[in-house]
Amino acid sequence: MTPISPAIRKALRLLAVVVVAFVLASCADDAELDTLGEQLAGPEARDIGSFMTWILWICYLVFAIVLGITLYAWKNFRIKTDDYEEGDWPEQVHGNTTAELAWTAAPAILLAVVAVFTLGLHSSLNSTDDNAISLVVGEETVAWEPEVVVVGQQWWWEYQYHFGDVDLVAKRVENLPAADLTTATQMVIPVGMEIELEITSRDVIHSHWIPSLNGKRDAVPGRQSAPWKIQADEPGVYFGQCTEFCGLSHSRMRMQVIALPMDQFQAWVTAQMEGVALDAADQAYVDALVAGDTPTPENSTQRAIATFRGKCASCHLMENVADDLWSSERVAEQLVSGVAPNLTHFSSRTTFAGGIRNVWDPDTGLFNANDVRSWLQNPESIKANYTEPVSEGDSRMRGMPNLGLSTQEIDDLVALLESTGPKPSPEIITETGVE
């Protein structure tokens, strides 16, 4: 019929140029979650990435063949007429069994080759090795085969560390032994070591994914992941995102992995095993409260401690400040997941609010008091939560409600949270920036 006009041809050529320009422009992007390319930092992710790159080239080739044949046919076999009676009839070929068998066999053979490599990579991803390291935990030195329990709940990740030789197969997370250490939204690992992950969930299905280190694995309630692992070859910050749709704030459920050299990891463990460090007067204030007295708070820290114990401690644990008030039964009455982030070392972390806000400003290196303040004023303004009662007779919530804190209470709490420390290193804080 009508051939493509020169104008359209010109437009198509222009379009092609624009597309190529866009592709080149996008390559320059700093994509923290990229699954191919330079910033892959773990052996698993790199193996997958390079295999995938090969496969993509095969795909480009196959597509080029199909498109090439189509365009060749277009150019050479086209009849430019509106008259359906016009033109001759080509030879009526009904098929060619040899050719058809050949192009049935060819892709089958190609795929068989791909399958062999696939199975090899698949089995290496699903193997684990024994690599116990010795770690000083509290007073004693333990042999620890790095293993972290990863627990998803709406809409944040919890990481449990069980040091020593502990059996971590329990199906339901509530049946696991008490963890030595618990963090939220951020997993800290020693660099250059294979870390086994036991991934599970307390409510709906989530998926744990640190693209720079390895593929993802679902967090399924009532199940633990078959062995899954990550490894970072370089110290640094690696970003992740929940990738199984998990409800209202699925897009705001993120996490970071911080890989530290062994000595820094040991220091991190040591610090995390302690409660919040208070000065003598504040410690005495806490001790009095724990003993059942009602002393009057005399400074910002003491006011914050009082507020925390009154309004936060029914869900959040802060050791040496309010651990006497915390019980899992109490949390379970208020939250569907039955758990809220442990805030003991809040400011040792890089991220909060389900992993979407920085605790420390990556540009200035200062405590991100503004975002912490907004969060305390109204969590909804940062992250959608479900704070209506679930149903009649079930008043549990999913996410953090607005507690109606006064400006004074918020200022005090912000200062307390900033002091929980220890602050991450400046390099780590800088790396949490994504611009």
Partner 1 sequence: MAIIEEPLAIGSGDAVSETVDRPLGDLTRPQISHTWRDWLSTVDHKKIGIMYGAAALFFFVIGGAEALLIRLQLATPNGTLLSPDVYNQVFTMHGVTMIFLVAMPMAAAFANYLLPLQIGARDVAFPRLNALSFWVFLFGGLFLNSAWLLGGGADGGWFNYAPNSTVTFSPSHGIDFYALGLQITGIASLMSAINLITTVLNMRPKGMTMFRMPVFTWMNLVVQFLLLFAVPVISVALFELTFDRLFDANFFNTEAGADPLLWQHLFWIFGHPEVYILILPSFGIVSEVIPVFSRKPIFGYSFMVFSGIAIGFMGWGVWAHHMFVSGIGPISVAAFSLSTMFIAVPTGVKILNWLATIWGGRLRFTTAMLFAVGVVSMFTIGGLSGVTHSIAPADTQQTDTYYIVAHFYYVIFGGTLLGFFAGFYFWWPKMFGYMLNERVGKWNFWLQIVGFNLTFGPMHILGLQGMSRRIDSYDKGFGFELWNLVATVGAFIIAASVALFLVNIAISRRQWKAAGSPNPGPDPWDSRSLEWMTASPTPEHNFDEEIEVEGLDEFWHRKYGYDENHHVVRIATAEEVAQDGSNTNVHLPSPSYFPILLAAGFPIIAYGLIFSLWLCIPGAALLVYGMVGWIFEHPDDPNAAHGHDHDHDDDDPDAIESGGEEEDQGELVVAGATTETEA
- Contacts of partner 1 in 390-429 (CB under 8 A): 390-391, 394, 398
Cα dihedral 42, 48, 50, 54 in deg (nearest 10): 180
Return the DSSP state at 3.
Answer: P
Nearest distance in Å: CB 250, partner 1: 6
Stretch that binds partner 1, among 216-224, 341-349, 402-410, 415-423 (CB under 8 A): 216-224
Q: Compare residues 244 and 409 and give the one whose CB is closer to partner 1.
A: 244
Rounded to 10 deg, the angle between the 407-418 and 300-307 helix axes is 100
Q: What Å distances lie between residue 173 and 47, 152, 222, 426, CA to CA?
A: 31, 10, 7, 35
215 interacts with partner 1 by CB under 8 A: yes
Count of residues interacting with partner 1 (CB under 8 A): 110
The residue within the footprint of partner 1, chosen from 103, 164, 165, 234 (CB under 8 A), is 103
Q: Compare residues 96 and 296 and give the one whose CB is closer to partner 1.
A: 96
Cis peptide before 228, with omega less than 30 degrees from 0? Answer: no
165 interacts with partner 1 by CB under 8 A: no
17 interacts with partner 1 by CB under 8 A: no
Q: Compare residues 139 and 435 and give the one whose CB is closer to partner 1.
A: 435
142 interacts with partner 1 by CB under 8 A: no
Spatial contact of 191 and 133, defined as CB atoms under 8 Å apart: no
30 interacts with partner 1 by CB under 8 A: yes
Which of 12, 30, 19, 33 is CA-nearest to residue 238? 33
Q: Compare residues 115 and 132 and give the one whose CB is closer to partner 1.
A: 115
Q: How far is CA 63 from the centre of its chain?
A: 34
The residue within the footprint of partner 1, chosen from 157, 188, 191, 250 (CB under 8 A), is 250
Distance between CA atoms of residues 175 and 266, nearest Å: 28
327 interacts with partner 1 by CB under 8 A: no
The residue within the footprint of partner 1, chosen from 147, 218, 409, 418 (CB under 8 A), is 218
56 interacts with partner 1 by CB under 8 A: yes
The residue within the footprint of partner 1, chosen from 245, 277, 284, 406 (CB under 8 A), is 245
98 interacts with partner 1 by CB under 8 A: no
Stretch that binds partner 1, among 105-113, 229-237, 341-349, 418-426 (CB under 8 A): 105-113
| Two structure tokens written together for 360 | 């420390």
Spatial contact of 203 and 153, defined as CB atoms under 8 Å apart: yes
Other beta carbons less than 10 A from residue 339's beta carbon = 23
* Alpha-helix runs per DSSP H in 248-401: 262-273, 280-290, 300-307, 328-334, 369-377
Residues 281-300 that bind partner 1 (CB under 8 A): none
Q: Compare residues 95 and 292 and give the one whose CB is closer to partner 1.
A: 95
What is the per-residue binding string for partner 1 in 353-372, x denoting contact by CB under 8 A? ---x----------------
Instruction: Please provide the DSSP assignment of 4-31 as one string.
Output: PPHHHHHHHHHHHHHHHHHHHHHHTS--
20 interacts with partner 1 by CB under 8 A: no
Q: Compare residues 163 and 239 and give the one whose CB is closer to partner 1.
A: 239
Strand partners, 135: 142
Q: Compare residues 139 and 394 and give the one whose CB is closer to partner 1.
A: 394
